[in-house]
A and B are shown apart, each in its own frame.
Chain A
Amino acid sequence: MKKDLSTRVILIAVFTLICGFYLQFSMRYWLETRKLNAMDEETRIEYLRENGARIQALRERIITLGLDLQGGMHVTLELDTPQLLIELTQGSADAEFREVLTAANGRAEANRTNLIDEFVTEFTTRDPNARLSRYFRSDADNITRRSTNEDVVAYLKTQQTSAMDRAVEIVRTRVDRFGVTEPSILKQGSNRIITELPGVDDEQRVRNLLKGTARLEFRTTPEPSELTAALQSIVNLYQPAAEDSGAVSPLLEVFQPIGQGVVMGYASALDTARVRELLLASTVVRYWPRETHLLWTSRAETTGDDGTGIFGLIAVRSTAELTGEAIIEARPAFNPETNAPEVSMTMNPEAARVWSRITGANINRAVAIVLDNAVVTYPNVISRISDGRSQITGLGSQAEADDLVNILMSGALPAPLEIVEERTVGPSLGAASVTAGFNSAVAGLILVAIFMILYYQVGGGIADIALFSNIFFVLGILAAFNATLTLPGIAGIVLTIGMAVDANVLIFDRIREEMRGGKTMLAAIDSGYRNAMSAIIDSNVTTFLTAVILFSFGVGPIKGFAVTLMIGIAASLFSAIVITRVILDYLTRDRSRSISFG
């Protein structure tokens, strides 16, 4: 018995030392931040210059707080796989292709299956003899006109994987250039990317930065007089008959026509889809000059009375003359005359020649620079530009110019990314949650500890020691694994406080029962531990199993809940069984002392 006791004491000591070692980083970091917060600006800078590297090193080993506790932005992006397939056809996607794709996409979403598989099934059901190689070619991957459907499918799947990898890389480059401390960018499944950006407070910039395809296009515009005439005819067409005095034009209800140059008019952000629908309806679409495309401006021109943004509708030609691939360099700059921020771009020589021709042919006409299907700027060409330079002007701020350069230089995404989930928590709410979680944990701990002493007296005191060491171990293990603590995670710890004493309750109740049965104290303790064991194991295994399941299916903060619950259960078993037993064995070492279990 004695020998056994010393091995267990060593085990506890080792475990305590390990947890203590990992926890001291968090402790020291916390002390440093307190010290820093108390300093005035000047001393802080001075102090950081001397100790910055040391504090940074500490920071890497502390228990990280989740986004819900420190504030920040969690964004899940989804790669537009249908669009990727269309891109891969290199322009040979016809109406039939798109029809098959839409049908396949609907089924893939409904059945949670792979889009490429659904696409092939749909394709071959429609025409068993049709070959996918009609649309897809690649010299590099040896996909030719004679390639079998299986070869093409394999090729498409590799392309999908590599497109995802590329997208993750590009998102990472953009986030790094944006400058976020400790971002996390992870691939999830076959088409999603999870980005966690702690401390981000400018959500709009991040949204644009993450999902921007960086599809930059230079487009020429149709003849203004033809546009004005077309707009006039369409407005007239929607005008209700004169005798019907009560009626209003459905178009004018949502749209304010201007028809000045290439600006067709203005509409509220709420109505943009409706306006395009009305202006491009099959009954009126023939009025527009050939090859006309209607696009909204990328940012609101003004704000309406009720606070919604008002966007401009710009007419451009439907084909792009040049794309972002032509850009070899982009940098933020200031307009020498107005001092407004802009982005200055340099094109490769081949594109420079095209640009020179376009600008030459469009003097005094507008040329639109389109980014991700929204018109960023539409300046009038003053003279031919032959050095391959161009500027994006009309930017809102220096930050916008920086972000645009970032997007242009990080490379274009293989297909658009869509934000399917966004959760942002402000730092103040996060701080309030930390306080709330901390208070609950402390209050819960005190309540349970007092109850245990009242109910089991000395035994309860021993169980309390186990309870406090349990919390210490949970935090130590979290620190050792560099785990992230979320608000549900704290809830998990609080719940563990309540459930951790269960093992001791089982044991002590059993000891009381054995003593009632007439056993001596020592024998009762011994059989109490032994007989309670199977119930302890069974009940903890079942709770642990549900936590594991929660962990594998849950996302984000819920995972944090499951993690602390699992660690809590494991640690509580150790503290409630091993630690309390060592203390009891020590207290009863001279065999005469009696211990009260209440």
Chain B
Amino acid sequence: MRSGNFKQNYRQLLALTDSVPVIVWSCLLVALLAAAPLLLSKYYVSVILLLLITAVGVLGLNLLTGTTGLISLGHSGFLAVGAYTAGIVAGKLGWPMLAAIFAGGVSAAVAGIIVGIPSLRLKGLYLAITTMAFAVIINHLILNGGSLTGGSEGLTVPQPSLFGQALGAERGYYYVVLAFLVVFTFITLNILRSRIGRAFLAIREHDIAAKAMGVNLVRYKLLAFMVSAFYTGIAGGLLAYYTRYLNVDSFSLLISIEALSMLIVGGLGSVAGALLGTAFIVLLNESLGFVFGMIGASFGGSGSTAAYEIKGVIYGLAIVLFLRFEPDGLMGRWRDIKHYWTHWPFRF
């Protein structure tokens, strides 16, 4: 009798998934997300839209930090590069939307290589702070970019449109973003099951050992930076069309930290975890904003700043408590629950 799920050849090992429930549930999730604009009000759709855009960027960060083990605090910089590139080529040169978004991704990827090169010799927290330096420098460049970036006045982005057809702010654009997320999730899963993904994992576990095993460190570390920055740049482009107004202040270091906290809450290194974590934090943020918005409104104007700060406290507490009590993230908890059910009545 088969006592478990055994992979007996390489094709099985490398398959995207061999589990029918996973396929069914994934399809259901996508279908549900696709149906969301028809069922939900405009406000909720825009929240989900923001969630989907964030998820694209977090998937990118996950490839770098979760899979390759290179901690980056500079992803707000990549996001800014992507968003501003998209905004500039769309607003000033009149590029169509998809081209502008891709331009955002490509320019961020180039920035990723530029950051990656000095980072090749760095490890751990030195790397984290160096990538942070990059984000600070990018913000400075944008602030002093004159008429190109709009400086402190910001930059307006044209309305999203596809093939000359203007898309509604929520409904039409929503599907574009959803398509992006689905495609990028597929790309990520496929990267992970290829030679590249295995090289990334090897670097995370021990980069010198990986080198000894024949992984070209320079190449794969730069590749990780490039791919990760590309994702985040695309997210930036999508974000530019979502907010339709860009300002340096919205690309502060806090964005990088939020993205990292999403990864940790979800579970580092897992694609499903990244998506789950993004959903958790974005929804937490929104619901906190909602609750405290109501409290703030009932207290009048002065209450709303207090409400904003209390939101900050709860947000910080969420990060701390998660790390303290659930270091493997939501995915780790999910794994435990799954084990419990499959192995019952044994403990493990």
The answer to whether A and B come from one shared complex is no
Contact surface of A with B, Cβ cutoff 8 Å: none
Contact surface of B with A, Cβ cutoff 8 Å: none
